[in-house]
Chains A and B, each alone.
Chain A
Amino acid sequence: MTIKDDHYTRLLQGVAYTVIILGSLACLIPFLLIISASLTANDSIIKDGYHFIPAQFSLEGYKTVFTFPDEVLRAYGVTLFTTVIGTTLGLFFMTMAGYVLARKDFKYRNTFSFYIYFTTLFGGGLVPWYIMITKYLHLTDSYGALIFPGLMTPFLIILMKNFIRSAVPEELFESAKMDGAGDFKIYWRIVLQLSMPGIATVGLFLALAYWNDWFSSSLFINDPHKYQLQFHLYNVINSASFIANMGAGTGVSLGSDLPTESTKMAMAIVVTGPILFLYPFIQRYFVKGLTIGAVKG
């Protein structure tokens, strides 16, 4: 190693640590701002604005959220329900599709792959799709409207296919067939067992999409009882009067001294909490999915 190289290496190390630390801070700071604001007394926010460190510590935001927990709990329930059902159904269908398309002896696999892929190239647009869901499937104001549209995506099906290809060797299909196993049995007993990491990855992608979905609620749901969690949060943030109305249904008058600002931020934390909490455990599955997906679809 030459002296020059040594010098450059140290320079690069310096640059690398600086840039990466700054980048990481930029990713974290917005969350810190929200957490800090959720722990600040509302008066202090209105008087002095948002700060990094709570100017005046208070839990009143969280107290307000949990004084009338009905709506946020119901929204939690809706999101939990749609996420579980949607992910389970979607995974079942997509693993089956991935398995069939991964079978090299299935003659029409390219045709069907293209049938699926083509939907990413061309579509009817938002409006005809909206009319399909509301006027033909009659899913307005039903959980179906929250579950159906997100069941599958071409990307995840291709990802699943690639996972199965890499996890289950082709010879295994053939030898299982020789032993008299049916196509479904091969899927159920062999493919599912062997591609568990892949299924976890695809399942988490799917679950994340359901959990973060607000769009379906805003398009198809008029009944506030069926709002998803994210759309509930959206409404809280975007209407000044929302929090003042929160107590109205229960007959408790809260007056005008309601901590609106800190409640908004507390609500954001309550909604995002599970993701932040689970993130360290699920993150590696996503990294894996991207790594395999990137190997070429």
Chain B
Amino acid sequence: MRHRKRKSGILLVTQLPLKGTGGLSPQIVSGTRKGRKKGFWHELVHNRVLFLMLLPTLLFFLVNSYFPMVGVYYAFTQFDFNSGLFNAPFVGLKNFEFLWRSGTLVKLTLNTIGYNLAFILLGNVLAIVCAILLSELRVKWFKKLTQSVMFLPYFVSFVILSVIVYNVFNYDNGFLNTLLSQFGANPVDVYNNPVIWILLIILFYLWKNLGYSMVIYLASITGISEEYYEAAKIDGAHIFQRIWYITVPMLKSTFVMLLLFSLGSIMKGQFDLFYQLIGNNGVLYNTTDILDTYVFRSLKVTFDVGMATAAGLYQSLFGFFLIMTVNYIIRKINDDYALF
């Protein structure tokens, strides 16, 4: 014990100039560069095995995430695959200007944020409602069974989603039109109706993800102490009051946490969902095109690399500032909920 204390005392000395470098602010780090370096090399040698074990992960993110950040340079060029990676003519902000002038950027931004807001709000509210109702079920096997069934769609691939959509909505022999014709109604051409898809996309998002968030909320409900409910019962609160005044407030922290996570990625669309449902059906782009699908198409279909990079960079930057702002505000209101 004594030995350990002494050791940690020594560590503290080398640690001193590092205070505040544990996390997030590179400015502070550069201010005390010298002290850091010595400490760092010392650590590197001392804990070389730990560093070595972390190395694959560090390399992975370096190659998969950090190196590509340099590539945002292409956003300022008229890039094509033949002219070599760094020989593309520099065009400044022209790509952005085009995206802005053509109205593409505004449309994509509104679509992306609009869909995500609908996903976040509807998704969370429904998940909370379902989790509360599920937790009230008394028959145990039934509770387990239905929870599993509602979680199931999360596990199938998005390609299966496109099979389902094809099965139900295709014009010639889809389930919907079969049903309609049985009742003597006219068939509906869903694939050429841009407005219906707003609903369908939201619907299928909920179908696929409701079980996932429901499980999270269910876990927090299970964590609420039975004593609260007993006490409320004695005080004469009926079941709806118990839910409204105990369960719902207790779910607040889970809700805020999930909300923040999703707000952070509000500029990132559900690419799989949109691409598998819409694909390359140009008729529907106005209401269903999001930044991710636009970038993908520019890369793989129209080969407009510069433009695609520009749209992608815009997406990243916008999202980054958004999350920084949200986090800053949350920090001011309640430090506990801040993401970092």
Contact = CB atoms under 8 A, between A and B. Distances in A.
Nearest to A21: B146
Interface stretch (B17-25, B103-111, B113-121, B282-290): B17-25
B93 interface: no
A50 B167 contact: yes
A34 B57 contact: no
Of residues B18, B158, B271, B323, which shows the largest number of chain A Cβ atoms within 10 Å of its Cβ? Answer: B158
Contact of A127 (B54, B156, B168, B299): B299
A253 interface: no
Interface residues of A, number: 106
Main secondary structure of the interface of A (DSSP, over half): helix
B262 to A, nearest CB: 12
A283 interface: yes
Given A46-B173, A125-B312, A214-B157, A8 B163 contact: no
A4 B233 CA distance: 12
A69 B133 CA distance: 46
A131 B71 contact: yes
B60 interface: yes
Interface in B153-167: 153-160, 162-164, 166-167
A16 B133 contact: yes
A108 B54 CA distance: 11
A115 B47 contact: no
A2 to B, nearest CB: 7
Contact of B63 (A21, A137, A187, A294): A137
Interface stretch (A60-68, A91-99, A195-203): A91-99
Interface of B: 4, 11, 15, 18, 21-24, 39-40, 43, 47, 49-50, 53-54, 56-58, 60-61, 63-72, 74, 85, 129-130, 133-134, 136-138, 145-146, 148-160, 162-164, 166-168, 172-175, 177-178, 181, 207, 210-212, 215-216, 219-220, 233, 236, 238-240, 243, 254, 257, 264-265, 271-272, 276, 279, 292, 295-296, 299-300, 305, 308-309, 311-313, 315-317, 319-320, 323, 340
Contacts of A214: 157-159
A187 B53 CA distance: 10
9 contacts: A5-B233, A13-B136, A30-B164, A34-B164, A49-B175, A108-B43, A119-B66, A152-B57, A290-B215
A258 to B, nearest CB: 16
Interface in A2-21: 2, 4-5, 8-9, 12-13, 15-17, 19-21
A114 B151 contact: no
A261 B173 contact: yes
Contacts of B71: 124, 127-129, 131-132
Interface of A: 1-2, 4-5, 8-9, 12-13, 15-17, 19-21, 23-24, 26-28, 30-31, 33-34, 37, 45-46, 48-51, 93-94, 96-97, 99-101, 103, 106-108, 110-112, 114-117, 119-132, 135-137, 148-149, 151-152, 157, 174, 182-184, 187, 208, 211-215, 218-219, 230-231, 233-234, 237-238, 261, 264-265, 268, 271-272, 275-276, 279-280, 283, 286-287, 290-291, 294, 296
A65 B303 CA distance: 35
A110 B22 contact: yes
